[in-house]
Amino acid sequence: MRTDREPATAGRAIQVEGLHKSFGALEVLKGIDFSVERGEVVCVIGPSGSGKSTLLRCVNLLEEPTAGRVTVAGTEVTDPDVDIDRVRRRIGMVFQSFNLFPHLTVLENLTIAQRRVLRRDRAAAERTARANLARVGLSDKETAYPAQLSGGQQQRVAIARALSMEPELMLFDEPTSALDPELVGDVLAVMRSLAQDGMTMLVVTHEMSFAREVADRVVFMDGGVIVEEGPPERVVADPQHERTRTFLARVLDPAAAGLSEVPQAGARGPEEERPEP
């Protein structure tokens, strides 16, 4: 947990109340209540199919909740009359896949949304883009195309692209899960730097070291509900619930899991069984 800054007291960045989400007969979220303070880093952990990514996507309405209310920076995004595009300008999101335009250079990937959504002129957009490329350690890659970059570099470009929109908070959905192990460190280093700078962050992750070292709070989800939440030194290092202890034992020491616990080929968790929106 970070000790280089005081806990945020400036108000809530995210408020989730009674959140339910179903895909047909499958209920993925079963009444979620939680909040994220401004300047806080919250890591959401849990097994596949527990609802983590669905929760994250409901925050910026990439998934429309079945019931409940979500408020971001004082604006209720679940209000039928909300201007969701305006709200999304205040939220940066980084996905598992990098979602870069393959036919555009790195610099062009960082400037296109600035110019089309924020209406910045080319010079201003490029200044912002270059500043954020420097922030993620990729100043020398602005003329490269995504195919010329490693997976870790592409994910750092995706982070720089999100930062170029000058968001008030960042959402990360398993940002390192698609990377080879040797590439994970550079991405996590960028995220640590953002946390140290005071960026509000909601992070779905399986990187327990990141959760321990960087998060102000850890939320453990299972079966569409929050089972346990609190500071990382309690939830990760000294969990109170048996389900949390079992999950962490398997994550931290996969070899300890019995063969009966290993997923069968082709098996998918409930969250993965739904069709893409």
Q: Based on the structure, what is the number of domains in the chain? A: 1
Within a domain: 158: yes
Q: Does 191 score more than 90 pLDDT?
A: yes
Q: Give yes or no for residue 4 having a pLDDT over 50.
A: no
State which residues form the domain around 137: 101-166
Q: What is the pLDDT of residue 254?
A: 67
The whole-number pLDDT of residue 7 equals 38
Average pLDDT over residues 92-96: 93
Q: Please provide the average confidence, as pLDDT, over all residues in the chain.
A: 89
- Flag whether pLDDT at 270 surpasses 50: no
pLDDT at residue 246 tops 60:
yes
Among 3-17, 150-164, 168-182, 183-197, the least confident range: 3-17
Measured between alpha carbons, how far is 86 from 109 in angstroms, rounded to an integer? 21
Q: Is 154 exposed, middle or buried (0-12, 13-18, 19+ CB in 10 A)?
A: buried
Given this model, what pLDDT does residue 252 score? 81
Q: CA 71 → CA 6, 37, 60, 61, 87, distances in Å?
A: 24, 12, 9, 11, 10
In sequence order, the β-bridge partners of residue 69 are 17
Give pLDDT, residue 182.
87
Pairing between strand 217-222 and 225-230?
antiparallel
Position 238 in a domain: no
**Does residue 65 form part of some domain?**
no
- 180 within 8 A of 191, measured Cβ to Cβ: no
pLDDT of residue 256: 56
Interval 25-34: pLDDT, tens:
999 999 999 9
Give the contacts of 269 (CB within 8 A, at least 6 positions apart).
47, 48, 49, 50
In a domain, 144, yes or no: yes
Higher pLDDT pick, 113 / 11: 113
pLDDT band at 268 (very low <50, low <70, confident <90, very high): very low
Model-level pTM? 0.86
Does the residue 272 lie in any domain?
A: no
pLDDT-based confidence at residue 181 (cuts at 50, 70, 90): confident
What does the CA dihedral 133, 135, 137, 141 come to, rounded to 10 degrees? 10
- pLDDT tens-digit profile of 42-89? 999 999 999 999 999 999 999 999 999 999 999 999 999 999 999 999
**pLDDT interval class at 257 (50, 70, 90):** low
Residue 271 has pLDDT above 80, yes or no: no
Measure the CA–CA gap between 269 and 48, rounded to whole angstroms.
6
Give burial (CB, 10 Å; 0-12/13-18/19+) of 176.
buried
Answer whether residue 162 is part of any domain: yes
Asked if residue 250 belongs to a domain, the reply is no
Nearest-10 crossing angle of helices 151-163, 106-116:
20
37 pLDDT more than 60: yes
In a domain, 23, yes or no: no
Reduced to 3 states, what is the DSSP secondary structure of residue 64? coil
Residue 1, pLDDT above cutoff 80: no
The neighbour count for residue 167, using CB atoms within 10 Å, is 18
Query: Does the pLDDT at position 124 exceed 70?
Result: yes
